[in-house]
Amino acid sequence: MEQTFSIIKPDAVKRNLIGHINQIIEAAGLNVIASKKMYLTKQQAEIFYSAHKERPFFDSLVSYMTSGPVQVQVLEGGEAVSTYRKIMGATNPEEAEEGTIRKLYAESIEANSVHGSDSSENAKIEINFFFAGSELV
């Protein structure tokens, strides 16, 4: 069993897609073991995406991620990191495979509906950033 971290981003929350996205997640065999809706502060968004701070899209990304509520979640299952990345699809929805969350719902490369950890190591860091151990059930 592996855990990964997911954010349902402001564009998807705004369009009432949390249930649709979680249906795809659960159909892939992943369990949602923690979930909460919140507004990211500017500081949280800057720290969370600090790996991208030199990229030209960083300021716009932080502003987008704080533009409305997000749903932060922990997913658990066999090979959760790679399973979730597969069903999310490519970062750029124009390159995402048919049937993936981003192909179905993303509006743009920035407003791409979901985030998922890129490794098990980063999943642990991202989960700890948003959740206490006692919240994972």
Which residues are marked as active site? 115
- Shortest spacing between CB 134 and ligand CMP, in angstroms: 26
- Shortest spacing between CB 114 and ligand CMP, in angstroms: 8
Residues 6+ apart with CB under 8 A from 88: 96, 100, 101, 102, 114, 116
Distance CA 6, CA 117 (A): 7
* CB of 91 closer than 8 Å to CB of 112: yes
- Sole binder of ligand CMP in the list 3, 4, 112, 117 (CB under 6 A): 112
- Shortest spacing between CB 91 and ligand CMP, in angstroms: 5
Distance CA 128, CA 95 (A): 31
Our finding on whether 87 is near ligand CMP (CB under 6 A) is no
- Nearest CA to 2 out of 101, 90, 117 is that of 117
Please, which of residues 29-58 interact with ligand CMP by CB under 6 A?
52, 57
Q: What is the contact surface with ligand CMP in residues (CB under 6 A)?
A: 52, 57, 61, 91, 109-110, 112, 115
